[in-house]
A = this chain, B = another copy of it.
Amino acid sequence: MKLLQERIQRDGTVKEGNVLKVDSFLNHQMDVKLFAKMGEEWKRLFAGQDINKILTIEASGIGIACVAASCFDVDVVFAKKSQSLNIDGDVYSTKVESFTHQRVYDVIVSKKFLGKDDRVLIIDDFLANGCAVLGLIDLVESAGAALVGVGIAVEKGFQSGGRLIRERGIHLESLAIVDEMNCETGEIKFREQ
């Protein structure tokens, strides 16, 4: 998606340790007009797929998922990163390792909100090693729901997550795939799509 690539080129910064900071428009400050255009693009890419629910994971996926869901006219469910006292015991759960926070989270979703009648699109802001998305896929499978596909804003094409998901035959649409980035020059190279 040209618009997102241009925005990453303009406002993204490359930091040491393979960190791409896009916090001025994607995952701390959030440009909801951009999110609406991303939602329209996913709507086009997953046209005719009969999606009735969008699944994401807290926290930074929620804003993108909710604005995109307005395009699809469906509800969002977000998976939670630890057991809250406000969640009933009746949950699907999986474990997700976060490299950003250097810990393993229990990730849960209530059985009330994900089931075998659901046709689910997973949405998240970033795909790197794929841990979060693979966890969400695990939740969809535990619920017996149908996984229609995965929509990602920014994929780090030089990490393994995208390959792992595509190898499973899952329809993955990343709106921008970064194939190379250089923290010294600040250069970012995108995959042709």
Q: Interface on A for B, CB 8 Å cutoff?
A: 19, 21, 23-25, 28-33, 35-36, 58-59, 62-67, 69-70, 73-78, 80-82, 84-87, 100-102, 109-110, 112-113
Contact = CB atoms under 8 A, between A and B. Distances in A.
Nearest to A69: B32
Contacts of A62: 58-59, 62-63, 66
Nearest to A113: B29
Contact of A100 (B23, B67, B85): B85
A75 B23 contact: no
A85 B64 CA distance: 22
A22 to B, nearest CB: 10
A95 to B, nearest CB: 18
Contacts of A101: 82, 84-85
B21 A73 contact: no
A67 B73 CA distance: 13
Contact of A32 (B28, B30, B75, B109): B75
5 contacts: A23-B110, A25-B75, A28-B80, A29-B110, A33-B73
Most chain B CB neighbours (cut-off 10 Å) among A58, A63, A65, A102: A63
